[in-house]
């Protein structure tokens, strides 16, 4: 097969596993796990890093251009706050890539579709490469696509829940309809969930909790790497369609041959 | 307003229902996926004590799933010990003949620098209630001065009006803590005999005013040991449940202050044991996966070392409970005696040894509302 690269906004990735940087027991462990995952795009919460400080512990462990940084706006509650934070982050972190997260509900951290669309429209105009975190809402995905986002990031289930692809039916519609890459974000708790997402035709998967809070984050990162490669390979090799019954030898159309 | 909910409950009825919980109620509460306030009652009941290990295990897993292997570090910053309230348990009580101290602007800056040099980025400003010296204007000034040094500012001061909270937020305030102390209406008056704080219902309505003002985080709790802690904790959970539904964009934090000896005060007979405090912390976590649970230096070294894996997400270290305690006037009167006197560095190493990361910064001013 040809080289299977993923392109988002002109940047190519050979790994389809994107990762988060929160919840790790230490920054050293985070760095080792991210290296083991092979991830080339890692998301960083603006609230966790000191953007003015070159010695910031998290940023230090992500240095030397080994990873592309994807700053996220976790903590903002509306479009206005997201746009403001995004502009500061672009200056400070020297990237116009942005994971747009607006979840005003601190309980389940569910994304606000209205504010997210508003912010996306504005941020695209301001020259950002916008990757919005959203519900698995196919219509919202089309609207965001029209607004010019670089990819969409629908959730598989509630963030941090490890419940897998509870939104499967809607993810399938999104994947079918999308003209931009679809990255399944949130709720992926096991490598098998990630493999399933890739088999369905997702372009990439973002994993954080399942790696960071496992007993052995480095091994878990490797497991996700392999599962995503396997799922993608299976998708490209065209999965067999599961059948509920054995196939008889054309009883319905045999008469056409007679 | 919460009072509309609160008035439907009767202290003694709630208390009796908690003390008549059976083991099968406890087992059911433990097995459920989603839990309600009746389950919380079961988890804080005496009947749950034999299941404490199971509760601790559940609490550990739920906390780690949501917060990962991290602990937020914070420190109290006492601005004043002046107070016009008479509260039977507090070292700052008006009738205590002690030397009063309110930090001047210069002293505030000096303290802020001393706290910053300890590594802190989240601070909790504390005062007594003295309208003349530490009213809203003083707080505004203090927040303006302190804000450039830290990412996250909380206050634990007298209850304020909704507009005051909104204004303080525009100056950089993130979180407001206000503890009801006890939800026992009648006995509240015997613990708070004089001053504005003696008005139970004004205090009870405070989280509503904070919620309406749009402040990002609200902290509630009771002073454990004043009255029956189980009944008081049920009311705290009821309050929390109400707030979460009405002010759904706000974050919540619960603290567990146990009565500690203070100047001129002996602890009454309601104190809870270490075992019961563990039970309470785990019960909150099992009810609520996402709230912040906080532990202070009131607790002992041994207790704190062991509790950080059981549901707590926020911890103070190296605290001084007297105004000027970090640099200006290290010997002024303390609000209460702390128990764990280890330095922030020592606590940080203790946390790391347990495979957790001490988090110093978890907020950024760029995420704040720009109105």
Mean pLDDT throughout A71-79? 93
Classify residue B371: in a domain, yes or no: no
Classify residue A256: in a domain, yes or no: no
Contacts A75 to B, Cβ<8 Å: 363-364, 367
Classify residue A93: in a domain, yes or no: yes
Classify residue A204: in a domain, yes or no: yes
Contact residues of A toward B, CB < 8 A:
22-27, 46-51, 73, 75-77, 80-81, 84-85, 88-89, 104-108, 160-162, 209, 212-213
Classify residue B173: in a domain, yes or no: yes
Give the minimum alpha-carbon distance from A242 to chain B in angstroms, rounded to a whole number: 32
The yes-or-no verdict on residue A2 having pLDDT over 80 is no
For residue range B42-75, what is the model confidence (pLDDT) as tens digits? 999 999 999 999 999 999 999 999 999 999 999 9
- ipTM higher than threshold 0.85: no
For residue range B144-173, what is the model confidence (pLDDT) as tens digits? 999 999 999 999 999 999 999 999 999 999
**CATH at residue B101:** 3.20.20.70
The yes-or-no verdict on residue A1 having pLDDT over 70 is no
Classify residue B103: in a domain, yes or no: yes
pLDDT of the residue at A93: 86
Classify residue A193: in a domain, yes or no: yes
Separation in Å, CA B241 to CA A15, B165, B277, B281, B291: 43, 22, 21, 16, 11
Classify residue A247: in a domain, yes or no: no
**CATH at residue A188:** 3.20.20.70
Q: Is B283 exposed, middle or buried (0-12, 13-18, 19+ CB in 10 A)?
A: buried
* Domain carrying residue B205: 2-361
CB B244 within 8 A of CB B217: no
Dist CA B46 CA B43 (whole Å):
8
Q: What is the pairing mode between strands A11-13 and A17-20? A: unpaired
The residues that bridge with B253 in the sheet, in sequence order, are: B219, B292
For residue range A28-73, what is the model confidence (pLDDT) as tens digits? 999 999 999 999 999 998 888 888 787 888 888 888 778 899 999 9
**Cα–Cα nearest to A231, from A16, A73, A60:** A16
pLDDT band at B261 (very low <50, low <70, confident <90, very high): low
Classify residue B367: in a domain, yes or no: no
Number of domains within chain A: 1
Contacts B366 to A, Cβ<8 Å: 46, 51, 84-85, 88-89
Instruction: Concatenate the DSSP letters of all residues of A169-237 into one string.
Output: HHHHHHHHH-SS-BEEES---SHHHHHHHHHTT-SEEEE-HHHHTSS-HHHHHHHHHHHHHHHHHHHHT
- What's the CA angle centered on B263, arms B262 and B267, to 5 degrees? 45
Q: What is the pairing mode between strands B357-359 and B122-126? A: unpaired
- Phi, psi angles (nearest 5°) of residue B147: -50, -40
Classify residue B205: in a domain, yes or no: yes
Classify residue B370: in a domain, yes or no: no
Dist CA A246 CA B80 (whole Å):
81
CB A10 within 8 A of CB B323: no
In chain B, % of residues over pLDDT 70:
96
Dist CA B343 CA B349 (whole Å):
10
Q: Which of A77, A101, A109, A186 to mutate to test the interface with B (most CBs of B within 10 A)?
A: A77
Neighbours of A192 (CB within 10 A): 14
Q: A138-147 and A168-177 are packed helices; what angle lies between their axes, rounded to 10 degrees?
A: 30
Contacts A25 to B, Cβ<8 Å: 68-70, 355-357
Q: What is the pairing mode between strands B314-316 and B292-295? A: parallel
pLDDT of the residue at B194: 87
Torsion of CA A62, A67, A73, A79, to 10 degrees: 150
Nearest by CB to B65, which of A22, A46, A162?
A162
For residue range B297-333, what is the model confidence (pLDDT) as tens digits? 989 999 999 999 999 999 999 999 889 999 887 777 7
First to last CA, chain A: 42
Classify residue A98: in a domain, yes or no: yes
Classify residue B369: in a domain, yes or no: no
A60 labelled catalytic: no
* Domain carrying residue A82: 6-238
Mean pLDDT throughout A5-17? 95
B67 reaches A (C-beta below 8 A): yes
Contacts A85 to B, Cβ<8 Å: 364, 366-367
CB A163 within 8 A of CB A189: yes
Q: State the number of CA atoms in the 13 A half-sphere of B157 facing the CB.
A: 33
Nearest by CB to A23, which of B68, B121, B366?
B68
- The 3-state DSSP class for residue B254 equals strand
Number of domains within chain B: 1
Dist CA A149 CA A132 (whole Å):
8
Classify residue A211: in a domain, yes or no: yes
Give the minimum alpha-carbon distance from B96 to chain A in angstroms, rounded to a whole number: 42
pTM value is 0.87
Dist CA A181 CA A49 (whole Å):
28
pLDDT of the residue at B124: 97
Give the minimum alpha-carbon distance from A161 to chain B in angstroms, rounded to a whole number: 7
Residue tagged active-site, from A99, A168, A238, A243: A99
Classify residue A246: in a domain, yes or no: no
CB B136 within 8 A of CB B160: yes
Classify residue B153: in a domain, yes or no: yes
Contacts B367 to A, Cβ<8 Å: 46-47, 73, 75-76, 81, 85
For residue range B264-291, what is the model confidence (pLDDT) as tens digits? 556 667 788 899 999 999 999 999 999 9
């Amino acid at each position: 097969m040809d080289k299977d690269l993923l392109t988002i906004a002109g940047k190519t990735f050979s790994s389809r596993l994107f990762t988060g940087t929160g919840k790790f027991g230490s920054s050293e462990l985070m760095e080792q796990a991210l290296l083991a995952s092979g991830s080339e795009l890692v998301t960083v919460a603006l609230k966790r890093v000191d953007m003015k400080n070159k010695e910031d512990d998290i940023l230090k462990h992500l240095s030397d251009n080994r990873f592309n940084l994807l700053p996220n706006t976790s903590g903002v509650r509306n479009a206005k706050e997201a746009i403001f934070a995004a502009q500061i982050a672009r200056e400070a972190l020297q990237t116009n890539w942005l994971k747009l997260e607006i979840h005003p509900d601190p309980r389940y951290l569910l994304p606000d579709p209205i504010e997210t669309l508003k912010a996306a429209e504005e941020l695209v105009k301001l020259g950002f490469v916008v990757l919005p975190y959203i519900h698995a809402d196919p219509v919202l995905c089309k609207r965001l696509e029209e607004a010019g986002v670089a990819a969409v990031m629908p959730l598989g289930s509630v963030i941090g829940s490890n419940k897998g692809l509870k939104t499967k039916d809607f993810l399938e519609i999104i994947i079918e309809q999308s003209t931009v890459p679809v990255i399944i974000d949130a709720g992926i708790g096991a490598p098998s969930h990630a493999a399933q997402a890739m088999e369905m035709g997702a372009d990439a998967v973002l994993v954080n909790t399942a790696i960071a809070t496992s007993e052995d984050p480095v091994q878990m990162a490797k497991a996700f790497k392999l599962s995503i490669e396997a799922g993608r390979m299976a998708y490209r090799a065209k999965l067999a369609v599961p059948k509920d019954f054995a196939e008889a030898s054309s009883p319905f159309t045999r008469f056409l041959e007679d | 307003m919460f009072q509309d909910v609160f008035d439907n409950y009767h202290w003694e009825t709630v208390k009796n229902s908690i003390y008549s919980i059976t083991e099968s109620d406890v087992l059911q509460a433990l097995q459920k996926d989603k839990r309600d306030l009746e389950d919380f009652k079961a988890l804080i009941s005496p009947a749950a004590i034999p299941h404490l290990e199971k509760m601790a295990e559940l609490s550990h897993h739920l906390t780690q799933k949501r917060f990962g292997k991290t602990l937020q570090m914070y420190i109290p910053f006492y601005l004043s010990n002046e107070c016009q309230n008479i509260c039977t348990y507090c070292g700052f009580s008006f009738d205590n003949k002690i030397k009063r101290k309110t930090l001047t602007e210069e002293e505030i800056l000096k303290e802020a620098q001393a706290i910053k040099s300890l590594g802190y980025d989240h601070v909790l400003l504390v005062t007594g209630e003295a309208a003349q010296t530490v009213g809203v204007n003083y707080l505004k000034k203090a927040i303006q001065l302190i804000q450039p040094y830290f990412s996250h500012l909380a206050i634990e001061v007298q209850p304020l009006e909704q507009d005051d909270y909104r204004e303080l937020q525009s100056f950089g305030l993130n979180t407001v803590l206000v503890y009801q102390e006890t939800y026992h209406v009648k006995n509240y008056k015997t613990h708070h005999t004089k001053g504005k704080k003696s008005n139970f219902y004004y205090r009870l309505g405070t989280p509503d005013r904070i919620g309406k003002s749009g402040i990002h985080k609200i902290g509630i709790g009771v002073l454990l040991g004043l009255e029956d802690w189980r009944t008081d904790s049920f009311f705290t959970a009821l309050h929390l449940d109400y707030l979460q539904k009405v002010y759904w964009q706000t974050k919540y934090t619960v603290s567990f202050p146990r009565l500690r000896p203070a100047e001129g005060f002996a602890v009454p007979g309601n104190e809870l044991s270490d075992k019961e405090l563990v039970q309470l912390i785990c019960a909150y976590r099992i009810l609520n996966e996402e709230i912040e649970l906080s532990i202070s230096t009131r607790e002992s070294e041994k207790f704190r070392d062991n509790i950080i894996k059981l549901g707590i997400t926020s911890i103070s270290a190296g605290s001084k409970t007297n105004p000027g305690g970090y640099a200006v006037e290290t010997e002024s009167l303390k609000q209460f005696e702390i128990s764990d006197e280890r330095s922030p560095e020592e606590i940080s190493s203790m946390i790391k040894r347990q495979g957790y990361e001490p988090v110093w910064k978890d907020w950024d001013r760029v995420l704040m509302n720009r109105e």
